[in-house]
Structure 1
Amino acid sequence: MASTPPLKILTGTALTEQQKKDLLHRLARVEGQLRGVQKLVAKAAEPEDCEAIAQQMSAARKALDRSFVTLMTSAIVTQAEGEGGEENRQQSLQRLVRLLDKFA
């Protein structure tokens, strides 16, 4: 199996480089969990196998939810500490609040 090359991490104001690395690491773990779930589904032969699949799906869903919380927390911290004046900071924080309201 060929491995994918690492993603290039861009510099910007959305997240710090470390926040991006941490989030990408979490998402890579979720990706691995989902590949494991796919294998379990492919090999399911008995009704009891569905419980193991459901358990792994639940774990992957929770890991993805945790990644979302990490993303939003990191974005809030980064925006609150950001430069650009109080008005820009308030606009950024209001945008993040709308995102939380929309997706959480």
Structure 2
Amino acid sequence: MADSALTIVEGSALTLAQKKDLLHRLARVEGQLRGVQRLIAMADVPGDCNAVAQQMAAARKALDRSFVQLLTASIVTQSANAEDLHSAQARASSLAAMLDKFA
């Protein structure tokens, strides 16, 4: 995925650098998944399933790490951009609920 393929908007959820880093990580995961698809298509002997499983696990871990990075970046950015302590606490509570829901 090239950065030029997407329009990155500026906002208060994440900084531009955080968005670019996350998009770069997801592009790498996308490449890993394409590689897994090729491995599955080319699987010939039972031992090939080990390579497929290993690459699937690596892609899953990379996606999980991207999720953690998203939450970490959100906590840092949104807390820093909060107008007051109450707003920061509300954002942190909302992000904690998202972590509980999706992790």
CA distance 1:4–1:25, shift in 2 (3 Å): closer
Where in structure 2 are the equivalents of 1:4-83 lying within 5 Å?
Answer: 6-83=5-82
- Report the TM-score, using the length of structure 2 for normalisation: 0.93
Instruction: Assess, with a 3 A threshold, how the Cα gap between structure 1 residues 87 and 25 changes in structure 2: closer, same or farther.
Output: same
Q: Extract unaligned runs of 5+ from structure 1.
A: none
Deviation at 1:4, TM superposition (A): 9.2
Unaligned runs of 5+ in 2: none
The one-letter code matched in structure 2 to 1:64 is L
Aligned residues: 102
Provide the aligned C-alpha RMSD in A. Answer: 1.5
Q: Could you state the TM-score of these two structures normalised by the residue count of structure 1? A: 0.92
Moved runs in structure 1, 4+ residues, more than 4 A? none
Q: Which residue of structure 2 aligns with residue 87 of structure 1? A: 86
Identity over aligned pairs, percent: 60
